[in-house]
Amino acid sequence: MAEKQLMIIDCDAGIDDAQAIMMALCQPHIEVVAITCVAGNVSVQRVCHNVLRVLEVCGKLGKVPVYRGAEGPIINRGDPPATSVHGSDGLGDIPSSGALELEKHASAEHAVNKMIDLVVHQHHGEISLVALGPLTNLALAERMKPGFSKQLKMLSLFGGNTEGRGNTTISAEFNFYMDVEAADIVLQEFVCPVYVTGWEASLKHTIDWEWLYEWLNTKTKKGRFVKAVMDHLLQYYKGEWAQNELGEESNFIVCDQLSMAIAIDDKVVKKAHRHLVRVERQGSITRGQMVVDWCRHLGHKDNLNLVTEIDMQLVKDLMQASLND
């Protein structure tokens, strides 16, 4: 029997995070050894609750450890959560019961300490880390245990942008903007193989509405859950993102699902380019923008892989598998 692929999922548990988590949980070759929570779409306490709800729907409650991490960015800028997109609770404001009962399944150990323990002390070079929210926990792990990232098998993250197109400010993507300093630390200091899927990659790899609605009508417990949490997002989407900049009707944009698919199956990546990448920390307009050294002005040390082409049929297959019984 082939060895399991060990995975840590670091997330801020909005709707796309929930779907990405479900993609990993259903894969027989993936063992999720921890889900670590970080403030982003909603508060870190709410993130933990959302993760536990997803685990309950998937029959994994009590089987996958959940850890509470950073409650805010390294430097607190007072940025508001993305409740308009994901709902006030981060999962589309669908009714939830048994909050106190769910919270019993969250570990008391801090997420960053557990990440260091699993990666450095227990599983050298064996863990794939998937980062779906602000990178605060990752940056803290590297600073608390220098060389933490050397012990990772790989990092797949969703965040940043390659063309200066922002979805939170004029030039910054949400995950990087919510903790700019953490994003820059991770991009500068992580030395494992790093795959970055940015906002423009999402805009170029959308899902057609016909497939999406068929997927949302999957007649399973998990399918009904995803359909319920997606209702709020779809209403927001049709109002705010209904058209692209050319005035054409837009297909559905997926984000965290792409980075998770890459971690599950590397064949998802059709093309990636090695580049030196930094994050602008100070700009009055460009703070949080990911800056790619296209012409090597900063030197020749390429530090990560920018994913530019994705096999969307494989992504759809993984998404469909996540809702099957």
Identity of residue 161 = N
| Given the residues 12, 16, 79, 256, the one annotated as active site | 12
For residue 135, give its domain range: 5-323
pLDDT for residue 243 is more than 90: no
pLDDT for residue 289 is more than 90: yes
Q: Are 176 and 150 in contact (CB under 8 A)?
A: no
Chain-centroid distance of CA 35 in Å reads: 11
| Structure confidence by residue, pLDDT tens digits, 35-63 | 999 999 899 999 999 999 999 999 999 99
Q: In the beta sheet, which residues pair with residue 107?
A: 67
pLDDT for residue 98 is more than 80: no
Q: Are 225 and 57 in contact (CB under 8 A)?
A: yes
User: Could you give the number of structural domains in the chain?
Assistant: 1
- Max CA pair span of the chain: 55
Work out whether the CA dihedral 192, 280, 19, 202 comes out positive or negative: negative
Pairing of strands 106-107, 127-131: unpaired
The question of whether 12 is a catalytic residue gets the answer yes
Q: What are residue 18's phi and psi, to 5 degrees?
A: -60, -45
| Structure confidence by residue, pLDDT tens digits, 147-177 | 999 999 999 999 999 999 898 999 999 999 9
| pLDDT at residue 240, rounded to an integer | 59
3-state SS class at 62: coil
Sheet with strand 304-310: strands edge to edge: 106-107, 66-68, 30-37, 5-11, 127-131, 154-158, 194-197, 304-310, 269-275
Q: What is the CATH number of the domain that holds 78?
A: 3.90.245.10
Sort 206 into a burial class: Cβ within 10 Å, 0-12 / 13-18 / 19+: middle
Average pLDDT, the chain: 91
Q: What are residue 167's phi and psi, to 5 degrees?
A: -120, 0
